[in-house]
Chains A and B, each alone.
Chain A
Amino acid sequence: MRLVRADLEQFRNLVTQTVNLHPHYNLLVGKNGQGKTNFLEAIGFLGTLKSFRAASRAEIIREGSDVCRVSSVIRGRGMARSASFSLTRRGRVQFLDEKKIDSPEEYLTAVRVVSFIPEDVSLVSGPPSRRRKIIDRSVFEVWPEYVRDYRQYLRVLRQRNALLRRKDFMEEELKSWNQSLAECGATLVRKRIMLLAKINPIMEEVNNTLDLERGTHLRYKPSFMKAIDSPGMLDQNSSGLTEAILGKLEEVQDREKEVGHTTVGPHRDNIVFTACGERDMGRYSSQGQKRGAVLSFKLALARVIREARGAWPLVLLDDVASELDSVKRKALGSLIRSMDAQFIISTTAEEPQFLDRQEGYVFRVENGLLERLQ
């Protein structure tokens, strides 16, 4: 997928303007607070319908305006189409080829974006819910029908929690909800692990190229058993996983009746960034190492999406080079060149060192205006 053109209207401090992009490399240079990250956020929103800074609509809409709009022309598989969204304080609407799209899932499968921002480093040491969320989003990118599995699981979970809260129920009734929870849960766990199995070897490669901490990978820590080691558990109908969840549910049943909610299942599983020797990076690694881990995860994800969907997602990298030394910057440069994706990269350095200006477009960002340097 290539973003050919973006039209911005009233998005944060960005001036209303049209930006034509290079099919491979786009570099945003400029001082802090000029609008580089805002531009990346606008493009990220176009791809995910969410702000990667978790900002509210009111924050995004330019002060004094009622509506903000970003429209774009994208090209994928030789076909050009338009994607756009508009935000008011009351809500959001998205369009594909000028047609309003009610289901976000339908929109999201048309525009794919992977972003890396400095704040992402908190993904490593933050609460498990954040990592579950990003893994679930990633599974959806690779297998869009996951959204249905996910909703089904949530519905079973809500039903089972409602039952546990009621307290005066028959064992048999709980048993039937256990069965449903285990079956739906096993489907989620299986797909998440299948995604990690795709991501991890590529992360390893990226790590080696960038000379980051050795052995960095994502490890699935289920809430219902110690570890999922045997590949036999991941067979077609996930019967091994179903049995494991079912067994654990029965084990914790008495406690769950007391607390009134479900304490095991994929909604309580953890996904951990680990380095060599199964070390939890959230606890033992430096900021720089964590940053590197998230960066290599995001780059690996882009490649996994490419393999699964047949087209590269657009890759947004915010201030990616600032904490890398010159050797690593060079390595990042060659890594980026080895990927046939379209990149938009922001940097405060005048000379980015990892890409030559001739290879793509360079935009100077000042007071919310992007100006292409010749």
Chain B
Amino acid sequence: MRYPPSLALLIEELKRLPGIGQKNAQRLAFYLLKAPTERAEALSRAILEMRSRIGSCARCFNLAEEKLCPICQDPGRQSSYLCVVESPRDLMAIESTGQYRGRYHVLTGVLSPMKGIGPEDLTIGDLVHRVDDEKTEEVIIATNLDVEGEATSSYLVNLLKPKGIRITRLARGIPVGGSLENADQVTLRMALDGRNVV
């Protein structure tokens, strides 16, 4: 027997979501079918509302429901520090440490000639303006440590160096709870190079 068309449509839509296959899609669809009407309504409202309200912050390109994101609106944040990340998700990761009190700039991607992404496709121009306007003292480059993240980082370094501000890169090394034995040579060497006085 086939599913009624409306149920089949829902299953098809759910299957488009990342990590959801046929079985999971069926399970979710049947859950929504049997759950109280309010649950289904709340979910569909939440999706629509999220889509209509979320845009990007006019200053740092983080996710924002207003013109500026909560971090850019927060007067307690130190404008002298600017942490450059690839995506809002990376921003969230740093934010979850609760340690950083400066501001952010989201590049919305990294350099990748293979995907046709050049500096003009990222928010690098805006970053340069911000560094000038906001009297930034230190730019912390927190792009990923892969090939594209490194190339983007060195592009930013070349671009910002002439401004005479402090430019730093996230430290690389042994993960907390990790053992030296399991660390690969590259990581170990980085950790040695970046050792601290105790």
Nearest 9 A/B pairs, CB to CB: A163-B113, A176-B155, A162-B113, A176-B154, A162-B114, A179-B154, A155-B147, A180-B151, A176-B151
Q: Which residues of A contact B (CB under 8 A)?
A: 143, 145, 148-149, 152, 155-156, 158-160, 162-163, 166, 169-170, 172-173, 175-177, 179-180, 183-184, 236-237
| B residues 138-156 in Cβ contact with A at 8 Å | 147-148, 150-152, 154-155
Since A145-B184, A159-B147, A160-B113 are in contact, a sample of 20 more A-B pairs with Cβ atoms closer than 8 Å, ordered by chain A residue number, is: A143-B185, A148-B184, A149-B186, A159-B111, A159-B112, A162-B114, A170-B119, A172-B119, A172-B155, A172-B158, A173-B155, A175-B155, A176-B151, A176-B155, A177-B151, A180-B147, A180-B151, A183-B150, A236-B189, A237-B189
Q: What residues on A are CB-neighbors of B119 within 8 Å?
A: 170, 172-173
Distance in angstroms between the alpha carbons of A261 and B110 in the assembled complex: 21
Give A143's nearest chain B residue, CB to CB: B185
On whether A179 and B151 interact (CB within 8 A), knowing A159-B114, A236-B189, the answer reads yes
Q: 1/0 per position for B145-175, CB-CB distance to A under 8 A?
A: 0011011101100110000000000000000
Give A151's nearest chain B residue, CB to CB: B147
Please tell me if the beta carbons of B189 and A156 are within 8 angstroms of each other in the complex: no
Cβ distance A241 to chain B, nearest Cβ, rounded Å: 15
Q: What residues on A are CB-neighbors of B70 within 8 Å?
A: none
Count A-B contacts at CB 8 Å. 60
Cβ distance A3 to chain B, nearest Cβ, rounded Å: 29
On whether A176 and B158 interact (CB within 8 A), knowing A169-B118, A236-B189, the answer reads yes
Cβ distance A53 to chain B, nearest Cβ, rounded Å: 34
Distance in angstroms between the alpha carbons of A160 and B111 in the assembled complex: 11
Please tell me if the beta carbons of A166 and B113 are within 8 angstroms of each other in the complex: yes
Distance in angstroms between the alpha carbons of A175 and B111 in the assembled complex: 12
Distance in angstroms between the alpha carbons of A328 and B185 in the assembled complex: 42
Distance in angstroms between the alpha carbons of A180 and B150 in the assembled complex: 7
Distance in angstroms between the alpha carbons of A177 and B158 in the assembled complex: 12
Residues of B in contact with A, size category = 20 to 34
Distance in angstroms between the alpha carbons of A84 and B114 in the assembled complex: 38
Please tell me if the beta carbons of A173 and B185 are within 8 angstroms of each other in the complex: no
Please tell me if the beta carbons of A180 and B189 are within 8 angstroms of each other in the complex: no
On whether A175 and B150 interact (CB within 8 A), knowing A145-B184, A159-B114, A169-B118, the answer reads no
Give B148's nearest chain A residue, CB to CB: A159
Interface centre among A152, A155, A176, A180 (most CB of B within 10 A): A176
Distance in angstroms between the alpha carbons of A148 and B147 in the assembled complex: 12
Please tell me if the beta carbons of A145 and B150 are within 8 angstroms of each other in the complex: no
On whether A173 and B111 interact (CB within 8 A), knowing A180-B147, A180-B154, the answer reads yes
Interface centre among B118, B150, B151, B189 (most CB of A within 10 A): B151
Distance in angstroms between the alpha carbons of A176 and B111 in the assembled complex: 10
Give A155's nearest chain B residue, CB to CB: B147
Give B156's nearest chain A residue, CB to CB: A176
Please tell me if the beta carbons of B118 and A173 are within 8 angstroms of each other in the complex: yes
Please tell me if the beta carbons of A145 and B186 are within 8 angstroms of each other in the complex: yes
Distance in angstroms between the alpha carbons of A237 and B193 in the assembled complex: 10
Q: What residues on B are CB-neighbors of A162 within 8 Å?
A: 113-114
Q: What residues on B are CB-neighbors of A173 within 8 Å?
A: 111, 118-119, 155
Distance in angstroms between the alpha carbons of A172 and B111 in the assembled complex: 12
Please tell me if the beta carbons of A152 and B158 are within 8 angstroms of each other in the complex: no
Give B184's nearest chain A residue, CB to CB: A145
Give B159's nearest chain A residue, CB to CB: A172
A-B contact pairs, 16 of them (CB 8 A): A148-B186, A152-B147, A155-B147, A158-B114, A159-B113, A159-B148, A159-B151, A162-B114, A163-B113, A166-B116, A169-B118, A177-B111, A179-B154, A183-B150, A184-B147, A236-B189
Q: What residues on A are CB-neighbors of B113 within 8 Å?
A: 159-160, 162-163, 166, 169, 177
Q: 1/0 per position for B126-141, CB-CB distance to A under 8 A?
A: 0000000000000000
Distance in angstroms between the alpha carbons of A152 and B185 in the assembled complex: 15
Cβ distance A122 to chain B, nearest Cβ, rounded Å: 34
Q: What residues on A are CB-neighbors of B189 within 8 Å?
A: 236-237
Please tell me if the beta carbons of B152 and A156 are within 8 angstroms of each other in the complex: no
Q: What residues on A are CB-neighbors of B151 within 8 Å?
A: 156, 159, 176-177, 179-180
Give B157's nearest chain A residue, CB to CB: A176
Please tell me if the beta carbons of B147 and A156 are within 8 angstroms of each other in the complex: yes
Distance in angstroms between the alpha carbons of A220 and B150 in the assembled complex: 28
| B residues 98-124 in Cβ contact with A at 8 Å | 111-114, 116, 118-119
Q: What residues on B are CB-neighbors of A158 within 8 Å?
A: 114
Distance in angstroms between the alpha carbons of A173 and B113 in the assembled complex: 10
Distance in angstroms between the alpha carbons of A179 and B186 in the assembled complex: 18
Cβ distance B122 to chain A, nearest Cβ, rounded Å: 11
Distance in angstroms between the alpha carbons of A170 and B111 in the assembled complex: 12
Distance in angstroms between the alpha carbons of A157 and B152 in the assembled complex: 15
Interface centre among A160, A163, A183, A236 (most CB of B within 10 A): A163
Among candidates B111, B148, B154, B185, residue contacting A145 with C-beta atoms closer than 8 Å: B185
Give B153's nearest chain A residue, CB to CB: A176
Please tell me if the beta carbons of B186 and A175 are within 8 angstroms of each other in the complex: no
Cβ distance B9 to chain A, nearest Cβ, rounded Å: 36
